[in-house]
Amino acid sequence: MILLIGTVKIRLVHPRNPTQARPLLHPPTPAPYTTTFIRELPTFTSPQPSGISISSSSSSAEPGPSSSTASSTGVVSGTTTTSSAVILTAAGGDGGDDGDDSDDDGEDNSNNRGPSSRSRQSNSRYRGNNRYSGMRRTHAAFHYDPATFVHVTDIGNLERHCPHCDALAFPNERRGICCNSGKVFAHVPAPPPLLLELANGSHQYSQHYLRYIMQFNGLFQFTSFAADIQFMSDNHGNRAWNPNFKVLGQVYHRIGSLFPSSGQLTKFMQIYFLSQSEQLSRRRSIFDGLNPELIQLLTAMMNTENPYVAQFKSAVSTIQHSSTRSLKVRSNMYSTA
Amino acid sequence: MVPAGEHRGRYNTPSRNNPEVAVVFDDTATAPRDIVIRQHDDKLSRISEYHASYDTLQYPLLFPGGENGYHFGSPVTCMKHYAYILMLRKSQNPSQSARVRFSILHASKGLFQQFLVDMAAKTISERLLYFRTHQEEIRAEAYSSLLDQAASGGSLNDVGRPVRLPSSFFGGPRYMYNRQQDAFAILRRYVDFRATLS
């Protein structure tokens, strides 16, 4: 069992030296492992040439109809991971078109399996590895090339939509997760135009806003986040580096008093009760590097659009002229059902 | 530096700096339902997760109009509510080239992810609260707590009032036990030899 896993591993991620494979004009000198590798290749049976021809045609950029589906069915069905990886590299070698020593085509290689053709096949393999070895070892997903990448699972388009709530879904997605057949409804009002422009990229500060959106939200949030965060400690009991954010118990949000106690800076909700200019300077001082103009725009927007700001402000004015010591927040009266 | 005795790969840097919450254990304390703000106070008061203003007070840029979040008294569960919010919907304007209605939530990048994690934690704790308060309905008395405690290797002196999680709770002990039984049943049919690592 262990032995089997070991061989599979060696086949798939054998360390190859791309610099050795570089001189294509020289007659190919197969690496010592290549012969054993070729001997264990699965023989190409009848459906296989489709995979090879498709990949070569797509690498020469012909707009073949239904090429992706044909290649995915032709290659993936009935072959293991190892064999499809082999086809991938063979396709890369065939599409290489380096002129002088290029093979006729993949079909020819696969059919006659004499020693000479074996060496040529190894050559094409070799060149394929030269081109793709680096990308396969690291960050393969970031160098995705649809011409050679054959492990494509087609999940369809986002084309089905729920008759009750207009939610879009993929064809095989489970039904009813969007609105439970019309039983769930939540009112989602249209956002203010400023936020819409910032989010969809049409505002001049969109890029800045979206990059620092968590900081911008931090400037305007009423409550603060709190949890019993678990830290791993090192051998000396100091706080070590923690790869995960781990919470014991509940995550909760906390809200402070309406006014800061003496000597304290205004925080979170308390900032909203300052004057406009004071709000601006206070908000600017929280994070470095945020655009002050955008802070001003967002402050103005929050003061006009957000119902809680008005609610808290009126509460502040009444609480200052009365003996009331505390106030209760009622939720905003949007319907959720 | 990796602590002694720990696996080298355990402290690998995450490939993306995504927020992630692991809810280890649910605290029994719940906050009062109302948000009460005092005039001058050094203390921070905790607001209930099930208050409708919870979301908009923490994420004013995602819910600028003060939209209500999930709250107690809402006819749906927490999960259903956020599943509804998180769907992409068809564009209402047929002349628009984009088929998908623009959603400010989904465009909000890191803040959206933070929101997702926060709401996932809220959903889990809402479910756990349900199980804690509905132990009779999930027939927890059918499982003898003494037997379970003995089976889990715990001391019989520690038997208190544990909360039983049903097997439908993802990641709970009964859930894991069921999945393991299923896996062995499948293996028995298709595989001759197997090796388990634990």
Task: Tell me the pLDDT tens digit for each residue of A253-278.
Answer: 888 887 787 777 888 888 888 888 88
Our CA-based measurement puts residue A198 at a distance from the nearest CA of chain B, in whole angstroms, of 9
Q: Which of A293, B102, A223 is nearest to A301 (CA)?
A: A293
Contact A298 B61 (CB under 8 A): yes
Per-residue pLDDT at B146 = 56
pLDDT of residue A208 exceeding 90? yes
Question: Which chain A residue's Cα is nearest to B51?
Answer: A331
Does the beta carbon of B11 lie under 8 angstroms from any beta carbon of chain A? yes
pTM higher than 0.90 for the full model?
A: no
Per-residue pLDDT at A295 = 93
Distance, CA of A333 to CA of B155 (rounded, Å)? 51
Q: How far is CA B157 from the centre of its chain?
A: 31
Per-residue pLDDT at B157 = 60
pLDDT of residue A62 exceeding 70? no
Top mean pLDDT of A250-259, A313-322, B117-126 is at B117-126
Contact A186 B37 (CB under 8 A): no
Mean pLDDT estimate for chain B? 75
Provide the domain count of chain B. Answer: 1
Q: Which amino acid is at A150?
A: V
Per-residue pLDDT at B27 = 39
The answer as to whether B83 is a domain residue is yes
The answer as to whether B51 is a domain residue is yes
The answer as to whether B128 is a domain residue is yes
Per-residue pLDDT at A110 = 39
Per-residue pLDDT at A57 = 33
Top mean pLDDT of A7-21, A131-145, A176-190 is at A176-190
Distance, CA of A85 to CA of A90 (rounded, Å)? 9
The answer as to whether B53 is a domain residue is yes
Per-residue pLDDT at A118 = 42
- CB-count burial class (<10 Å; 0-12, 13-18, 19+) for A31: middle
Contact B22 A256 (CB under 8 A): no
| Pick from B60, B84, B109: CB nearest A221 | B60
Domain residue ranges in chain A? 2-143, 156-183, 193-320
Q: How far is CA B165 from the centre of its chain?
A: 14
Contact B102 A200 (CB under 8 A): yes
Phi-psi region of B5 (alpha: psi -120 to 50; beta: other; left: phi over 0): left
- ipTM above threshold 0.90: no
The answer as to whether B55 is a domain residue is yes
Per-residue pLDDT at A216 = 93
Per-residue pLDDT at B155 = 61
Q: Which residues on adjacent β-strands are paired with residue B35? A: A329
The answer as to whether B155 is a domain residue is no
| Pick from B42, B58, B102: CB nearest A223 | B58
Per-residue pLDDT at A260 = 81
Per-residue pLDDT at B164 = 74
Q: Which of residues 57-116 of B touch A (CB under 8 A)?
A: 57-62, 64-68, 70-71, 74-76, 80-81, 83-85, 87-90, 92, 99-102, 104, 107-111, 114
Q: Which of A275, A267, A332 is nearest to A303 (CA)?
A: A275
| Pick from B3, B71, B83: CB nearest A331 | B71
- What percentage of residues in chain A have a pLDDT greater than 90? 12
Contact B85 A186 (CB under 8 A): yes
Q: Please give the residue range of the domain that contains residue B83.
A: 46-133
Does the beta carbon of B151 lie under 8 angstroms from any beta carbon of chain A? no
Question: Which chain A residue's Cα is nearest to B118?
Answer: A251
- CB-count burial class (<10 Å; 0-12, 13-18, 19+) for B81: buried
- Give contacts of B38 with chain A, Cβ < 8 Å: 257-258, 325-326
Work out the pLDDT band at A17, boundaries 50, 70, 90.
very low
Which of A73-82, A142-151, A217-226 is predicted with the least confidence, judged by mean pLDDT?
A73-82
pLDDT of residue A49 exceeding 60? no
pLDDT, one tens digit per residue, over A99-126 is 333 333 333 333 444 444 444 444 444 4
Per-residue pLDDT at A90 = 31
State the pairing for strand pair A224-230/A326-329: unpaired
Does the beta carbon of A280 lie under 8 angstroms from any beta carbon of chain B? no
DSSP at B157: G
Contact A246 B42 (CB under 8 A): no
| Pick from B22, B34, B43: CB nearest A328 | B34
Q: Which residues on adjacent β-strands are paired with residue B91? A: none
